[in-house]
Structure 1
């Protein structure tokens, strides 16, 4: 039997991790299933190559981030410096367009289902990015989105809305990916879905501030 290199084994484990994390959930995934699907005989293969379940999950997300970063960088370069409503929509369009590239492949669809489970770990609310997105174009875009809201929305509400908006985009993409993986037909075509997601997210971010009645 031909021996495989460490790099090849890591890639097999990452691919298997994508499959199992998407199917079983981030918290419910069984490492033994990942090792088996990756064709490894060592039951500790994940720990050996990644240190832990979390290390493998970070590697899965880093590979997914690398794919979308290239598209996002090009989209961000075209947005200009407008911080008004048009600029906000341009930034959201760049983000949604980049995320939608993951819908093109089965691997990407699985990764969308995984990343939606991790949106609470982004660090938006504390401005402390998760290591996998620190220094990325994605984190830069989040900062640009906040600039668009800085004058109209106070900081605590602004950060909460940004976190909710990113969670909504992730959840919408994950649900679309689920439908594609299951072979079901979505209610809307993809062009309508993506355009509506941009508009819905923009509306959430720029919604009027609530007026609280004093007792």
Structure 2
């Protein structure tokens, strides 16, 4: 493979920025802090590779979101290779949740999920635009599968509840650890994962038939 000048530095800046942004937000991380953590001597490296810290945030967010998107698409591809038509809602929900829980148990996976959750909730329109752009194709695909599984609820409900499902899964899994202190009858991550699937599927299925 042809070497691209600066690739190692660029990758190191992204990898270092993710946990820092997760803890402090984009505005709470200085170039000096980032360079020190990344072991980068050039004070201009961020500007050369990303334009500014927000450009670095977008690059890091694009990378982490693509990991989830590819996981969702892979599970949907496998599920759709069966003869089931429409695809059962339970399998669609698993395709939403499982890539996120798999990342959570991988090396530095929780940092990546906490970064995504913080950027969705705390980076303003710029972060939300990146999320919407990166997940648009898979969101449209899941919207359609949810609608086909529950056509009686309509396309509007399918789209809105797909958004809620992704957002819920990201934030619940990113908050893993709270269950150790919460008054629960189980602390098992496997059991909590089961209830998360139940919770999301139940929310998608439920309808109050709004008039407006």
TM-score grouping bracket, smaller chain normalisation: 0.7 to 0.9
Runs of 5+ in structure 1 lacking a partner?
Answer: none
2:135 pairs with 1:141: no
Equivalence for 1:39: 39
Instruction: State whether residues 22 and 114 of structure 2, in contact with CA within 8 Å, keep that contact through their aligned partners in structure 1.
Output: yes
Equivalence for 2:197: 198
Instruction: State whether residues 35 and 41 of structure 1, in contact with CA within 8 Å, keep that contact through their aligned partners in structure 2.
Output: yes
Equivalence for 1:100: 101
Residues 43 and 207 (structure 1), Cα distance of their counterparts in 2 relative to 1, 3 Å cut: same
Give matches, 1:1-215, under 5 Å: 5-80=5-80, 82-83=85-86, 87-119=88-120, 130-135=132-137, 137=138, 140-153=141-154, 155=156, 157-176=157-176, 179=177, 187-209=186-208
- State the 1:131 CA deviation: 3.0
- State the 1:27 CA deviation: 4.7
Listed one character per residue, the Cα deviations across residues 18-75 of structure 1 (whole Å, up to 9, x for unaligned) are 1201111345333432222111223332221112223212221232234334433331
In structure 1, what is the Cα distance between the partners aligned to 2:172 and 2:104?
12
- State the 1:11 CA deviation: 0.9
Instruction: State whether residues 26 and 53 of structure 2, in contact with CA within 8 Å, keep that contact through their aligned partners in structure 1.
Output: no
- State the 1:115 CA deviation: 1.1
Larger helix percent:
2
In structure 2, what is the Cα distance between the partners aligned to 1:175 and 1:41?
34
Listed one character per residue, the Cα deviations across residues 132-191 of structure 1 (whole Å, up to 9, x for unaligned) are 3344x4653344334434431462x44333322221111111101xx29xxx68853222
Listed one character per residue, the Cα deviations across residues 83-112 of structure 1 (whole Å, up to 9, x for unaligned) are 4xx721101112211111211234221110
Please, which moves more after superposition, 159-168 or 23-32? Answer: 23-32
Residues matched between the structures, number: 196
* TM-score under structure 2 length normalisation: 0.75
Residues 115 and 143 (structure 1), Cα distance of their counterparts in 2 relative to 1, 3 Å cut: farther
Residues 115 and 82 (structure 1), Cα distance of their counterparts in 2 relative to 1, 3 Å cut: farther
In structure 2, what is the Cα distance between the partners aligned to 1:37 and 1:19?
11
Residues 73 and 20 (structure 1), Cα distance of their counterparts in 2 relative to 1, 3 Å cut: same
Instruction: State whether residues 102 and 109 of structure 1, in contact with CA within 8 Å, keep that contact through their aligned partners in structure 2.
Output: yes
Instruction: State whether residues 147 and 153 of structure 2, in contact with CA within 8 Å, keep that contact through their aligned partners in structure 1.
Output: no
Runs of 5+ in structure 2 lacking a partner?
Answer: 122-126
* TM-score under structure 1 length normalisation: 0.74
- State the 1:14 CA deviation: 0.6
Two-structure CA RMSD over aligned residues (Å): 3.1
